[in-house]
Amino acid sequence: MALQKRYYYLSMNSPSINDKVNPHDIAYIIKLLSNIYPIDINVEKALHKHCFSIKLKENNNLCKENQVCPYLYFIRKGALMSYYPEKDKRIVTYVTFENEFIGSISGLYGKSIAKEGIVAIEDSYLIGVNMDVIENLLKTSFSLNYIFRVMFEQYYKDAEERAYLIRVGNARERYLYFKRTRPSMFKRLSVDYIAALLSMNTDTFLRIKKNEEEKEKRIKEGDKILNRLNDLINEKELFKDNNIKIEDLACLVDMPSYKLSSILNQTYQINFNILINRYRVNYIKDILKESKSLHDYTIEGLAQKAGFPSRSTFYKVFKKETGLTPIEYVHQTTRKVKAINSESRF
């Protein structure tokens, strides 16, 4: 298609359009396609002959809604966003980056009016080709048909993921899911684009982001404090004192007891008693692993040795932490040791 006709479709976007494309860019695209399936020589020739390049500034449209979009583009550099206009806002359907293809989905093959718009959200450089060229190649090229099938399969997988993304849980759960599964996009995109992609307003996104960052900060600070406290508790075996109180631990890390209690409750969802009792249970587990028997100890003796105030408290806490009674725990440990020793003989 002549450059003049391309301007007919793209003049409202003010892009920089060039019929001359760097051969290295075409070779780069061909190499990526060939990684899916070795490409036919006639397809290579057609791409070298018919491709053109476009430079878009951020916020320039690649195509607008209610226009024909007869091209398929390869993003060599930058990022673009597809959206549907809805009253005074945009419903974002996807964001795509370099090394990916983009074109109108609703106006596929450029045969009908596109319902969606596509806009650059970063300064972008694209290589385009008319869909008429692609259609003609698909009639004769097995390799291109196979490549397109793989590309469309990936598109549907991505579409399913996007559909899940905007439906999963509440706004906070969508935020956390996106941050966990799309870390590079989370760091790269502006908050406005991420918020739109997650189907929430920017204020909601920023509020959630602030809350989660504060929570992460509290967890990091809590980890430092508890790591320091852990060393002190293990070194001095403070848990053996059945009269120990949270004030005693708080004093060791130079903070008020209410602050230490807050760290345990808000960050780790445990209280002081659970913390100390876990040290006691782990201590007893180590004893039982070494002895492999309860014959060396009475229940009362074990409880007292670890700092438990009573036999009943010991049983209750041990069962809650391990899911087993002390006797069941010893039997289970003994069976595992025998099984390992038996396997080692062969």
Q: Quote the crossing angle between the two packed helices 311-322 and 299-306, to the nearest 10°.
A: 80
- pLDDT score, position 164: 84
* Residues whose CB is less than 8 angstroms from the CB of residue 49 and which lie 6 or more positions away in sequence, other chains included: none
**What's the predicted TM-score (pTM) here?**
0.69
3-state secondary structure the chain: CCHHHHHHHHHHHCCEEECCCCHHHHHHHHHHHHHHCCCCHHHHHHHHHHCEEEEECCCCEEECCCEECCEEEEEEECEEEEEEEECCEEEEEEEEECCCEECCCCCHHHCCEECCEEEECCCEEEEEEEHHHHHHHHCCCHHHHHHHHHHHHHHHHHHHHHHHHCCCCCHHHHHHHHHHHCHHHHHHCCHHHHHHHCCCCHHHHHHHHHHHHHHHHHHHHHHHHHHHHHHHHHHHCHHHCCCCCHHHHHHHCCCCHHHHHHHHHHHHCCCHHHHHHHHHHHHHHHHHHHHCCCCCCCHHHHHHHHCCCCHHHHHHHHHHHHCCCHHHHHHHHHHHHHHHHHHHCC
d(CA 71, CA 128): 6
- pLDDT score, position 310: 87
* Phi, psi at 29, each rounded to 5°: -65, -45
Assess contact for 283 and 322: CB atoms under 8 A.
no
The Cβ of residue 264 has, within 10 Å, a number of other Cβ atoms equal to 21
**In the structure encoding, which two tokens stand for residue 33, read together?**
């396609």
Assess contact for 117 and 106: CB atoms under 8 A.
no
- pLDDT score, position 67: 86
Assess contact for 80 and 121: CB atoms under 8 A.
yes
Tell me the mean pLDDT per 10 residues along the chain, length 346. 45 57 93 94 94 94 88 94 84 90 76 86 94 92 94 88 83 93 92 91 95 90 88 92 92 90 86 93 84 67 88 90 86 65 53
Residue given tokens 């020739």 in the structure block: 45
